Structure 1
Amino acid sequence: MYCASAASADRAPVPHGIGRDSGFGTDRDFGFGTDRDSAFGTDRDFGFGTDRDSAFGTGRRFDHRTGRNTAPAVGLATPPSRPYRLHSAYRPTARTAHPRRRTVNRRRTLTALAATSTVLLACTQARAAHGGPGPGPGPEGDRRPLAGLRVLLSNDDSMQMARPNASDGKGLYEVRRALCAAGADVVVMAPWANQSGAGTSATSAGSLTLQRRDTLPAGYTGDCSGAPGGGAVYGVCKGAAPCGPSTPSATPADTVRLATRGGLAAKAGWKDGPDLVVTGSNYGPNAASVVNESGTVGAALAAIDEGVPAVALNSSYDPAVTDSLEVADHTYRDTAEFGAGFIAGLRQRDLLTTEYVVNVNYPHHAPGQRPRGTAWTSVGTRKLVELRYTAHGDTFTIGGRLCAPDSPDCRSESKRRPDFALLQRGYVTVTPVGPDRTHTGWETRPLERFVRGGGR
């Protein structure tokens, strides 16, 4: 495992394993609302501290001199010796293996992904504790963890960053900065205007225009000056004319599909596309019911549909601000730095995949504090946002508010490891989000019998 910014030989190694204050394996108080029966630390399938396949607690140590573990973790792939591109033909084993073996391989991959998120949080915390600077541009033979990786960066908040609270793109520029610092070659192709809530919607006819942004927001101008592509930033709008203040914006999914199907080849010279798509960091978390509507997650799903691995990053709101929804500047930066290191870990362990999107939600915490740990979660069922429509003749004004946990109009949580509940408790949540929307639970069996019986 490589800690993106921890390369100094005089720093203490980061041990693998979970401390008792991380909350895993020791915290039996977990409950959503009044339900205290879901208690993490008793579920042996959770994989932290109890799952023998997770390879944690085996005494492996991180060597800052080499940027690697002293020995490969059990069940995890040997780090690649050179950068690679992941295409559909890259996964022959998953296509040809026996069904039971495929299930085992998938479980090991997901376990390794969960393990990676925990190690990366430890790396981030160690770097912060030692106050080490991030790596600078390197010469040929660059050993930074994302060197040689071509990344398409998009979001659903837009690339404008023009609002007073910077909610329309600050997270994107923070991620761009962190990825370039880790050695990636980053090109931004993002919606021209805010597209929050656009989900996976796409434009099927007409024209799209790519317009390069020449003057970047203050504080972000030189972040990618050493990258081959210079960190170019493009906004994508609808129509054949130049993008203007009132031009309709392309959707997040549009930006990814356009980029991978010709945009990057035309503007960046990437004839075979990007190695990875990163979306975010989003203004606010994308968890529970919000995942279904998220343009940040929708753009990432479009990427894996186009055969490119994808990671979605999201930054949580500051709960101390009660009259609006705000993300603190340090939360955006912490999300980006964690995300860059996390992606480096995925790359090193061959965990970049097109089977699912890796959705990461980073919690809010006070400056100088750190998350409680990382949590391997599932998308929760709780409804988080309640929309209201107020009639004015034939016109309806749209309003909304966050759902109260006990609201009869909002669906309650039904899962044991929901993302939003753990995010509220201060954990970084990592959730695999797949494109397959087929429900396979026992609840469908009566319907299945009815259909197989002829539907009458």
Structure 2
Amino acid sequence: MISKRPLILVSNDDGVFAKGLEELYTALRDLGDIVVVAPDGPRSGTSSAITSSIPIHFNMVETEPGLTIYSCSGTPADCVKLALNEILPTLPDLVVAGINHGGNEGIAVNYSGTLGAAIEGTIFNIPSFAISLLQGDQESDYLDCCRFARTIARKILKEGIPKGVYLNVNVPNVTEVRGLRVCSQADGKYVNEYVCQTTPTGRDVYWLSGSIKLAEPINQNWDIQLLKKGYATIVPCNIDVTDYEFIQQIKHWDE
């Protein structure tokens, strides 16, 4: 018999054996049938990158009623694209990416491989969201993230979200989260982005580092500000990056 339960595709950028991923798909299992397609190792910072110059492959890691897990050699976007084109028998009802080991607040939305997985689902017109834990790692407690992921997944499965929209959810790593706030992405950029070290052979090498510097004036409804106050945040994002207002301003450029 064909299952009438929702089909949920889960991916991430920390790898198929990441704690955040396991906590996420475990928390979502009673909401539908879960298929996990995740990278075979860490792919942080890959954004929506796809593999085009070499072939990719996938392997089944585990299967049981209501849960199947695959490991993929590609990026998070590859994982979702491959799942939707080749692995799944039908398009899923929901794509969930995470739980990311570390925040994806502010401008980080443009770099995150976890967000890249959610964006790929949105391109296929599937309701999608990504969820991340600030300062998260393999030892962190993901209970609050799981709670918010379940709440948001339930709402999306019931109410849907607009075409072309995906959700970026971040949860602070605090003893008690004060609640969930819908807000906007903080305006800012990374500064002091590299740490230089010299190798024993005398060559300079650069490690990615840095921190976000917010633009002035600071808006208290930005995600970064609310996260500092102990709130989880949800930012609706669009895959259509067209600036429609500016179109009108440069109409005279038409030849």
Q: TM-score range by the shorter chain?
A: 0.7 to 0.9
Question: Of 236, 245, 253, which residue of structure 2 is paired with 1:432?
Answer: 236
Cα distance between partner residues in 1 of 2:115 and 2:191: 17
Q: How does 1:69-148 map to 2 (within 5 A)?
A: 148=5
* Pairing 1:412–2:223 present: no
Q: 1:340 corresponds to which letter in structure 2?
A: R
Higher relative contact order (CA 8 A, sep 6+): 2
Cα distance between partner residues in 2 of 1:151 and 1:326: 24
Q: Counterpart in 1 of 2:151?
A: 341
Q: Check whether the contact 2:168–2:237 (CA below 8 A) recurs between aligned residues.
A: yes
Q: 1:171 corresponds to which letter in structure 2?
A: G
- Find the residue that maps to 1:195 and give its secondary structure: coil
Cα distance between partner residues in 1 of 2:214 and 2:153: 33
Instruction: Provide closer, same or farther for how the CA distance between residues 386 and 185 of structure 1 changes in structure 2, counting only shifts above 3 A.
Output: farther
Cα distance between partner residues in 1 of 2:121 and 2:78: 10
Q: Counterpart in 2 of 1:289?
A: 107
Q: Counterpart in 2 of 1:259?
A: 83
Instruction: Provide closer, same or farther for how the CA distance between residues 372 and 251 of structure 1 changes in structure 2, counting only shifts above 3 A.
Output: same
Question: Of 170, 179, 189, which residue of structure 2 is paired with 1:373?
Answer: 179
More strand, by proportion: 2
Question: Of 55, 60, 78, which residue of structure 2 is paired with 1:212?
Answer: 60
Instruction: Provide closer, same or farther for how the CA distance between residues 327 and 386 of structure 1 changes in structure 2, counting only shifts above 3 A.
Output: farther
When the two structures are superposed, what TM-score results if normalisation uses the length of structure 2?
A: 0.86
Instruction: Provide closer, same or farther for how the CA distance between residues 413 and 257 of structure 1 changes in structure 2, counting only shifts above 3 A.
Output: farther
- Structure 2 spans left out of the alignment, 5+ residues: none
Q: CA deviation at 1:282?
A: 0.6
Cα distance between partner residues in 2 of 1:414 and 1:312: 28
* Pairing 1:278–2:96 present: yes
Q: Stretches of 4+ moved more than 6 A in 1?
A: none
Cα distance between partner residues in 2 of 1:339 and 1:385: 31
Q: Check whether the contact 2:14–2:43 (CA below 8 A) recurs between aligned residues.
A: yes
When the two structures are superposed, what TM-score results if normalisation uses the length of structure 1?
A: 0.50
Instruction: Provide closer, same or farther for how the CA distance between residues 340 and 206 of structure 1 changes in structure 2, counting only shifts above 3 A.
Output: same
- Find the residue that maps to 1:357 and give its secondary structure: strand
Q: 2:160 corresponds to which letter in structure 1?
A: L
Q: CA deviation at 1:205?
A: 3.9
Instruction: Provide closer, same or farther for how the CA distance between residues 326 and 260 of structure 1 changes in structure 2, counting only shifts above 3 A.
Output: closer
- Find the residue that maps to 2:13 and give its secondary structure: coil
Instruction: Provide closer, same or farther for how the CA distance between residues 213 and 359 of structure 1 changes in structure 2, counting only shifts above 3 A.
Output: same
* Pairing 1:300–2:100 present: no
Q: CA deviation at 1:326?
A: 4.6
Deviations 1:274-308 (A, max 9, x none): 11110001111111111110111111111111221
Question: Of 178, 181, 203, which residue of structure 1 is paired with 2:27?
Answer: 178
Cα distance between partner residues in 2 of 1:351 and 1:298: 20
Cα distance between partner residues in 2 of 1:195 and 1:353: 28
Deviations 1:379-425 (A, max 9, x none): 1112256411637577532231334xxxxxx4525563211111111
* Pairing 1:155–2:4 present: no
Cα distance between partner residues in 1 of 2:231 and 2:138: 16
Q: 2:6 corresponds to which letter in structure 1?
A: L
Query: Which entry has the higher C-alpha Rg, 1 or 2?
Result: 1
- Find the residue that maps to 1:436 and give its secondary structure: coil
Q: Check whether the contact 1:380–1:413 (CA below 8 A) recurs between aligned residues.
A: no
Instruction: Provide closer, same or farther for how the CA distance between residues 413 and 425 of structure 1 changes in structure 2, counting only shifts above 3 A.
Output: farther
Q: Check whether the contact 1:360–1:431 (CA below 8 A) recurs between aligned residues.
A: yes
Q: CA deviation at 1:377?
A: 0.7
Q: 1:383 corresponds to which letter in structure 2?
A: K
- Structure 1 spans left out of the alignment, 5+ residues: 1-139, 161-168, 215-223, 238-249, 265-269, 318-324, 404-409
Q: Counterpart in 1 of 2:173?
A: 364
- Find the residue that maps to 1:274 and give its secondary structure: coil
